[in-house]
Amino acid sequence: MDSAVDLKDMTMAEMVGFLAGMGLPPFRARQIFAWIYRRGLTGFDGMTDIAKPVRAELAKRARISSLSLISREQSRDGTIKFAFALEDGQVIESVLIPEEDRNTLCVSTQAGCAMGCGFCLTAGLGFKRNLSAAEIVNQVCAASAHMPEELVRPGFKRPGNIHNLVFMGMGEPLANFENLVRALRILMEPHGFDFSGRKITVSTCGLAPMIKKLGQEVPVNLAVSLHSVRNEVRDRLMPVNRRYPVEELLAACRAFPLPPRRAIMFEYIMLEGINDSADDAELMAGMLKGIRCKINLLPYNENPERDFRCPARERIVAFQDILRARGYAVFIRDSRGSDISAACGQLAGKTKTGGWQPVEKRSERG
């Protein structure tokens, strides 16, 4: 790996400081941010508003990293799963979810995951390592660079044609807190991608002590993978609950500095015979009282590697009706990209099952 400093690992303030050490003024950092994130440059030669001697010195001291695309699969519903190789050979996945008026990118924060949630295929990989801020940011850069032409929307003002970011990919974002926050600040920098905090959602499986700290550091949206409000059930589904039980998790959610007109999103995977009863819905309604929130009910994506089953549709609707009757905004979110293992809980790579498909592979359209 190159020993030069990676500019994509720097916030604007950090880049200003680095360039000051070269005798360069702060406006050079703004120029470089724009070249890297708005125009997608990975080298210094194209930075034509910077003098050649300065570019040459930058090339000696710094580099602009990028990810290697090793697989791109497109689902019948248009969802695209990217597999990227990191410089040490680890592989991560990102998922692009196109909709009529926006493109949403699901971003990974770790290679593998240490949380061990029983329904999640990523958990089967085990934990490899945290991603650097640059590796997190580079998923946005790479997805933008490799986006199919039909998804490029000329009316978008957002650089890279990505409208929303959700940190719900491989890994637990709050377990890689410092690099996550640095990456968020880079992505929100006005001279770069200029994402608003309203367009960014960070998900956690329940690292309660870090929830309030996240809201204090960056004004982003919070999503919580809940899946049960019964400690005995959540202990079995999500080992993190043994350290931070439901009561502590919900107290942390109440302490989250929620900006006006925003709500915490509770994600709830529906599992037949485990968390889908009327009593489960009634208990959940009572325990969430007083939290400004929305609830996503996620029908489970069945997989032969896991024994869980998805409830019948009418049972999911009945669960939704109970919560709605108690005044909650509740949505049934059918997963996107399940035919290419890009849906919720399915990111696990193919290193376990025989290698990656060619970059241009697409599933059959039906």
Any catalytic annotation for residue 344?
yes
In DSSP terms, which residues pair with 102 in a beta bridge? 99
Rounded Cα–Cα distance for residues 103 and 101 (Å): 7
The answer to whether 62 touches 54, Cβ cutoff 8 Å, is no
Q: Which two tokens stand for residue 135?
A: 């590796």
| Residue carrying structure tokens 């929303």 | 164
Other CB atoms closer than 10 Å to residue 177's CB: what's the count?
18
Catalytic residue from among 120, 141, 205, 344: 344
Any catalytic annotation for residue 93?
yes
Rounded Cα–Cα distance for residues 32 and 50 (Å): 9
Q: Which two tokens stand for residue 300?
A: 């489970």
Query: Nearest to residue 65, comparing CAs of 34, 40, 102, 93?
Result: 40
Catalytic residue from among 57, 87, 93, 364: 93
In DSSP terms, which residues pair with 329 in a beta bridge? 294
Query: Nearest to residue 150, comparing CAs of 362, 358, 366?
Result: 362
The answer to whether 39 touches 49, Cβ cutoff 8 Å, is no
Query: Nearest to residue 219, comparing CAs of 175, 170, 256?
Result: 256
The answer to whether 322 touches 278, Cβ cutoff 8 Å, is yes
The answer to whether 170 touches 122, Cβ cutoff 8 Å, is yes
* Residues involved in catalysis: 93, 344
